[in-house]
């Protein structure tokens, strides 16, 4: 893989800049936008970026850091899913707490924002409290977002309970956007100032990259990633006016800045040090870019992936037509086509060959995978394996130098698993999915050295690209992502069934 980003240079620059910002205050509330852990978008558009760079940054500063996690009650209530992991936001909060603790970072508490006694949210609070996690409930702020006098009063932020913190850097993070991180930071600023404490606020938002051109594919990839939020990148007019310097930000931050500045000034009773929304940020990711062309190409590929993802979400009913149309317009803006993703063409050509050879009128599925060395493999559904499992084992055989005609998994093992799925688990999908295939291959490896040789090649799949001509099942998608494979699908259901899909 071509590298376009210097991770170590970024970590050094970023930690230095955050500490400089902290020095202006006794305590800094640092709002973390994007993903704190497993930032797969950043990893894909900035080849060389460590997906856990942010958490490693905090580990460098761990003696000075504690973490508050925010989650919007409405997201819990409607079971909102974190797309890259396929888990609900409440489960993602549990995962985030575990991951932070594992890295010896102190979790202060969880804040439930815009809480209105929703039943599912109340149950979630009970689960947290039973496990010894401190929970704070913030209801909707009276007067928000325009009535500054009410917001900054005992009727506004004053209604929220004060969260006791002890470290100089308080990181405020969340499973996703719209979780109430900013409101939580401002509420804390209000209570801290009432207590006479000199505290500040800053924002750590990786995208859009403020010192990269507005129409750079890297910044357009951010728009593609947030089509459902309708985010639009813009020139920060406040920054241009104050410094005569062009900086990129996005519409929500720019639109909210005048009110946000007034709120901070009313809370602190003095003029804000920030003259623009870009000023509020501490992001230095742009300084880690070492090869602009590599980043441009990676960003274009991410835009295509996001287009396919949005298309599948539209087909499933998760997003509206306007959102999908916006994803198409972003593709057109950069003159990108579906075929610019090589595995798309490979999968569709393989499907056409299947159709020509098939006498029955049935729904077929084909999957293509491209490794980082540009080798491409294909797979199709059979009675034994689903299409994703087939392409996986085909690729592993080829990398290990094993003849394609050799069966790596014992027929007895396959037969036993099939019986279990059919007779005991009452499954209608009897072909082994990716996880089942890998388990069967692992069992076979105890007696078959060639199966072990194939398993040893799994790390070679990291960074591979995969496309399916039908929507992948959740299980296959998650297994492939755990292997480090970037997945897309055509917006076509694998069967006509409404419930019994793969």
Q: What CATH number does residue 200 fall under? A: 3.10.630.10
In tens, the pLDDT along 160-203 reads 999 999 999 999 999 888 899 999 999 999 999 999 998 999 99
Q: Is 197 in contact with 26 (CB distance < 8 Å)?
A: yes
Containing H/E element for 496?
A: none
Domain holding 439, by residue range, is 344-489
3-state secondary structure 167-214: CCEEEEECCCCCCCHHHHHHHHHHHHHHCCCCEEEEEECCCCCCCCCC
* Segments in the chain below pLDDT 50: none
Last residue of a domain, one of 144, 179, 206: 206
pLDDT confidence of residue 500: 64
Q: Is residue 122 part of a domain?
A: yes
For residue 322, the tally of other CB atoms under 10 A from its CB is 11
The DSSP output letter for 160 is: S
Q: Note the pLDDT of residue 202.
A: 94
Q: What are the φ/ψ torsions at residue 390 (nearest 5 degrees)?
A: -60, -45
Residue 287 maps to a domain:
no
Residue 381 lies in a domain: yes
Per-residue pLDDT, 428: 80
| pLDDT computed for residue 84 by the predictor | 65
Query: Which of 206, 241, 268 is a domain's end point?
Result: 206
Cα angle 32-34-40, degrees, rounded to a multiple of 5 = 135
Query: How far is the C-alpha of 146 from the C-alpha of 259, rounded, in Å?
Result: 7
Specify if 258 maps to a domain.
Answer: no
* Separation of alpha carbons 477 and 501, rounded Å: 14
- CB atoms under 10 Å from CB of 480, counted, come to 24
Alpha-carbon distance of 287 to 46, in angstroms, equals 12
Give the predicted TM-score (pTM) of the model. 0.91
- Are 183 and 35 within one domain? yes
Q: Is 2 contained in some domain?
A: no
Domains in the chain, number: 2
In the chain, what percentage of residues exceed pLDDT 70? 98
DSSP string, 431-461: SB-HHHHHHHHHHHTTT-HHHHHHHTTGGGG
> Mind listing the pLDDT tens digit for each residue in 201-260?
999 989 999 999 999 999 999 999 999 888 899 999 999 999 999 999 999 999 999 999
pLDDT of residue 436: 94
Q: Of the candidates 360, 412, 364, which has an alpha carbon nearest to the alpha carbon of residue 390?
A: 364
Under 8 Å CB-to-CB from 302, ≥6 apart: which residues?
Answer: 41, 44, 45, 221, 224, 225
CATH number of the domain that residue 482 is part of: 3.40.140.40
Looking at the domain assignment, is residue 63 inside a domain? yes
Place of tokens 């294909």: 378
Domain stops at, among 187, 206, 225? 206
């Amino acid at each position: 893989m071509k590298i376009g980003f210097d991770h170590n240079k970024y970590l050094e620059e970023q930690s230095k800049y955050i500490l400089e910002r902290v020095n202006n205050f006794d305590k800094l509330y640092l709002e973390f936008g994007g993903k704190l852990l497993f930032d797969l978008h950043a990893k894909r558009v900035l080849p060389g970026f460590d997906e856990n760079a942010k958490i490693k940054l905090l580990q460098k500063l761990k003696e000075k850091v504690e973490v508050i996690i925010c989650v919007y009650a409405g997201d819990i209530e409607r079971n909102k899913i974190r797309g890259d992991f396929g888990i609900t936001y409440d489960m993602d909060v549990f995962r985030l707490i575990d991951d932070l603790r594992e890295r010896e970072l102190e979790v202060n508490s969880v804040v439930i924002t815009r809480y209105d006694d929703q039943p599912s949210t109340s149950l979630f609070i009970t689960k947290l409290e039973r496990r010894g996690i401190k929970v704070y409930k913030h209801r909707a702020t009276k007067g928000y977002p325009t009535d500054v006098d009410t917001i900054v009063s005992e009727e506004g932020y004053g209604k929220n309970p004060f969260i006791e913190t002890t470290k100089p850097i308080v990181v405020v993070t969340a499973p996703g956007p719209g979780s109430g991180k900013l409101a939580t930071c401002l509420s804390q600023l209000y209570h801290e100032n009432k207590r006479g404490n000199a505290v500040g606020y800053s924002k750590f938002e990786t995208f859009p990259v403020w010192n990269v051109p507005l129409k750079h594919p890297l910044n357009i990839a951010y728009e593609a990633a947030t089509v459902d939020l309708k985010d639009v990148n813009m020139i920060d007019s406040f920054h241009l006016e104050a410094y005569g310097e062009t900086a990129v930000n996005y519409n929500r931050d720019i639109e909210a800045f005048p009110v946000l500045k007034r709120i901070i000034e009313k809370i602190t009773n003095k003029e804000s040090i920030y003259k623009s929304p870009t000023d509020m940020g501490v992001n230095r990711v742009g300084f880690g870019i070492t090869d602009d062309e590599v980043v441009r190409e990676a960003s274009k590929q991410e835009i295509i992936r996001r287009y396919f993802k949005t298309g599948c979400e539209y087909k499933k009913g998760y997003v509206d037509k306007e959102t999908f149309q916006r994803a198409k317009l972003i593709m057109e803006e950069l003159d990108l086509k579906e075929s610019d993703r090589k595995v798309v063409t490979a999968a569709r050509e393989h499907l056409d060959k299947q159709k020509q050879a098939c006498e029955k009128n049935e729904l077929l599925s084909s999957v293509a995978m491209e490794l980082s060395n540009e080798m491409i493999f294909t797979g199709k559904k059979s009675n034994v394996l689903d299409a994703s499992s087939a392409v996986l084992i085909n690729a592993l055989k080829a990398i290990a130098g094993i003849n394609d005609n050799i069966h790596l998994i014992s027929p007895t093992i396959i037969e036993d698993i099939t019986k279990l799925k059919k007779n005991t688990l009452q499954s209608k999908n009897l072909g082994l999915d990716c996880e089942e295939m890998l388990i069967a291959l692992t069992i076979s490896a105890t007696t078959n050295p060639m199966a072990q040789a194939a398993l040893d090649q799994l790390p070679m799949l990291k960074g591979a690209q995969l496309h399916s001509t039908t929507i992948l099942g959740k299980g296959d998608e998650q297994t492939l992502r755990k292997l480090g494979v970037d997945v897309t699908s055509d917006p076509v259901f694998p069967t006509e069934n409404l419930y019994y899909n793969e």
